[in-house]
Amino acid sequence: MSKAHMASNGEGEPGSPARTYEEALNCLSSLITRRTRADGANKGDHFDLMFEYLKILELEDSMSRLKVIHVAGTKGKGSTCAFTESILRNCGFHTGLFTSPHLIDVRERFRLDGMDISEEKFTAYFWWCWDILQEKINDDVPMPTYFRFLALLAFKIFVAENVDVAIVEVGLGGKFDATNVIRTPIVCGICSLGYDHMEILGNTLGEIAGEKAGIFKQGVPAYTVSQPEEAMSSLKAKASQLGISLQVASPLDRGLLDGQQLGLDGEHQYINAGLAISMSRSWLERTGHSEGIFTQNTKSLPEQFIRGLTLSRLQGRAQIVPDPYFSTQSSTLGPGGLVFYLDGAHSPESMVVCASWFSNVAKETARYIYHPEQPKNSSSARLVPILIFNCMSVRDPQMLLAPLMSTCSYNGVYFHKALFVPNQSTFNKVGSFTSTQSNPQQVDLSWQMTIQRVWKNTINGNKGLIDDKVTGVNEVCKQGEQRNTRNFENSAIFPSLASAIQWLREYAQQKRTIRLQVLVTGSLNLVGDVLRLIKK
Ligand SMILES: Nc1ncnc2c1ncn2[C@@H]1O[C@H](COP(=O)(O)OP(=O)(O)OP(=O)(O)O)[C@@H](O)[C@H]1O
């Protein structure tokens, strides 16, 4: 990158004291604000400002040359984007990928050719954008908020790095999302729709779908997956208003993978992969690159696609991580130890897919799953499922725990203990990893107590726990309720995630023939915190 690209006001370059990566993270943190309602009444919280910022950064023209794939939806956006990026990279293209949120390092949000952007490049592009904006802002055009800044930074990076294709995940919603300044994408996609962020997007599936369909553009083909009727008709209505085609991508037929596995685990990933295949194909056709990739046999997948799908990766989604603490001592521990199953599900529908995934893998590996009614097999490690859970206080824990518990018990997997912990990282600091309160005596655990109460109530089978609105979840919950839930009874609150992990390690160490299978879910931040802690 040229120096002209780097610093706009001559105050310094990356590496000088005030221009470091750490300093950039501090400045970025200063942009974090609580969300406001982004609806028609306030024009998406001054969404039009985004166009002002693009003008200030002189990105308008260059952005229109980016060959973008734009993806919205409630669940599966990140995974679908990761598959799409990997497919097109394996077809030989120079790719840019913008996703959210990040788990450990903000640079995860910006991938170039499948790799997180380097600290050096991030720092340089950050200050380029930051300095120009700082110089030009005024009362009418204030500094962009956190996600808006990140989206602008992504556009700057992709333009400057001259990517062949930019795959861009919507942050929240669609119509008024910061990424929706993309005027002429090559193709758009809407992943599985469900109930999330209702305080911002609306209370019905139709309203939510309408917001997401706000990314559709005239002349741009749109793809989606099978959706509940109400959501689908809203998508169709928007597509027909614009006179564009809306095609429904079928889930990937696993037989097309030549006996290989998708890079991302879980049944639901076949839905996401199907959408990624359709969008990639459409992108290749519309940019004139399909020749030589597709053969006459329309039933098979090009080998570049298979490579892309099987090599794709994304942290914190159905990820299995053996605790490194035990892998270094495995010879002395025998068959016991601790394995984390990480999935950042935080909506009712994703809790169901998360619980199905966990149950399946837990059962696959089970030589003995903890269940008092089953005989113990003393010759091998006993597998003991444990839950670590937290969710944001804007969420209804009942809507998350009920489907989790029901799906697991329906599949015959019973948590030996549920641990409720506060998140480690603070919401308003990028890259920080400190507890909100360092003295465990002072930590406010009232939210964790609420969650624990909900857990206990759910065990006791309170009626009216489950909201009938949640398609698919209700049926599973009812089936699960009929099962014996007494094995969910043990639960505990820990003042920090670190203390919970410490407890688990000691427990596994004492009982050498026990292997703890720890499902961590409810919050992607929590999952990121676990990854940070165990990899230290
Ligand atoms: N097709 C799907 N249907 C239901 N749940 C899904 C689907 N795909 C992914 N999930 C669940 O959603 C979680 C997040 O996946 P992913 O990051 O791909 O989606 P996302 O839409 O980007 O979500 P978020 O906005 O929460 O980051 C996964 O861990 C999984 O539990």
Q: What is the DSSP string of 45-57?
A: HHTTHHHHHHHHT
Q: How far is the CA of 388 from the centre of ligand 1 (A)?
A: 19
Q: What ligand 1 atom has the least distance to the C-alpha of 346? A: 26
The whole-number pLDDT of residue 264 equals: 96
Does the complex come out with an ipTM higher than 0.90? yes
Verify whether ligand 1 is closer than 6 Å to residue 79 (CB atom): yes
The whole-number pLDDT of residue 5 equals: 43
- Nearest one of 117, 139, 144, 116 to 59, comparing CA atoms: 144
Q: What ligand 1 atom has the least distance to the C-alpha of 357? A: 31
Bond preceding residue 251 cis, omega within 30 of 0 = no
The whole-number pLDDT of residue 276 equals: 98
Name the packing angle between helices 49-56 and 119-136 (round to 10°). Answer: 110
pTM: 0.87
Pairing of strands 110-112, 115-116: antiparallel
Residue 278 marked in a binding site: no
**Whether the Cβ atoms of residue 31 and residue 144 lie closer than 8 Å to each other:** yes
In tens digits, what is the pLDDT along the chain, a chain of 536 residues?
444 344 443 344 444 445 899 999 999 999 987 554 444 444 467 899 999 999 999 999 999 999 999 999 999 999 999 999 999 999 999 999 999 999 999 999 999 999 999 999 999 999 999 999 999 999 999 999 999 999 999 999 999 999 999 999 999 999 999 999 999 999 999 999 987 666 666 678 899 999 999 999 999 999 999 999 999 999 999 999 999 999 999 999 999 999 999 999 999 999 999 999 999 999 999 999 988 888 766 678 999 999 999 999 999 999 999 998 876 555 444 556 889 999 999 999 899 999 999 999 887 765 443 444 444 444 466 788 999 999 998 889 999 999 999 999 888 888 989 999 998 776 667 775 554 445 555 678 999 999 999 998 887 764 333 333 333 333 333 433 333 334 445 899 999 999 999 999 998 888 777 889 999 999 999 999 999 999 86
- pLDDT digits 0-9 by tens, 421-451: 998 776 667 775 554 445 555 678 999 999 9
Q: What ligand 1 atom has the least distance to the C-alpha of 316? A: 29
Q: Where are the alpha helices (DSSP H) in 14-76?
A: 21-29, 43-46, 49-56, 60-64
Ligand 1: residue whose CA is nearest its atom 11: 350
- Nearest one of 64, 49, 301, 304 to 166, comparing CA atoms: 64
**Whether the Cβ atoms of residue 144 and residue 27 lie closer than 8 Å to each other:** no
Pairing of strands 417-420, 382-389: parallel
The β-bridge partners of 517 are 339, 385
201-222 CB burial, b ≥16 within 10 A, e <16: bbeebbbbbbbbbbbbbeebbb
50-66 CB burial, b ≥16 within 10 A, e <16: beebbebbebeebbeeb
**Among 35, 71, 74, 79, residue to substitute to test ligand 1 (most atoms within 8 Å of Cβ):** 79
Residue 100 marked in a binding site: yes
- Nearest one of 424, 495, 415, 422 to 455, comparing CA atoms: 415
Residue 291 marked in a binding site: no
CA 331 – CA 508 distance, rounded (Å): 14
Pairing of strands 319-322, 337-342: antiparallel
**Whether the Cβ atoms of residue 135 and residue 8 lie closer than 8 Å to each other:** yes
For residue 90, how many other CB atoms are within 10 A of its CB?
A: 22
For residue 237, how many other CB atoms are within 10 A of its CB?
A: 14
CA 234 – CA 230 distance, rounded (Å): 6
Dig out the tokens for 510 from the structure: 């004492």
Verify whether ligand 1 is closer than 6 Å to residue 73 (CB atom): yes
Residue 65 marked in a binding site: no
327-363 CB burial, b ≥16 within 10 A, e <16: eeeeeebeebbbbbbbbbbbbbbbbbbbbbbbbebbe
Q: What is the DSSP string of 225-283?
A: ----HHHHHHHHHHHHHHT--EEEPPPPPGGGGTT---SS-STTHHHHHHHHHHHHHHH
The whole-number pLDDT of residue 201 equals: 66
Dig out the tokens for 202 from the structure: 């609306």
CA 470 – CA 150 distance, rounded (Å): 32
The whole-number pLDDT of residue 480 equals: 37
Verify whether ligand 1 is closer than 6 Å to residue 343 (CB atom): yes
**Whether the Cβ atoms of residue 493 and residue 375 lie closer than 8 Å to each other:** no
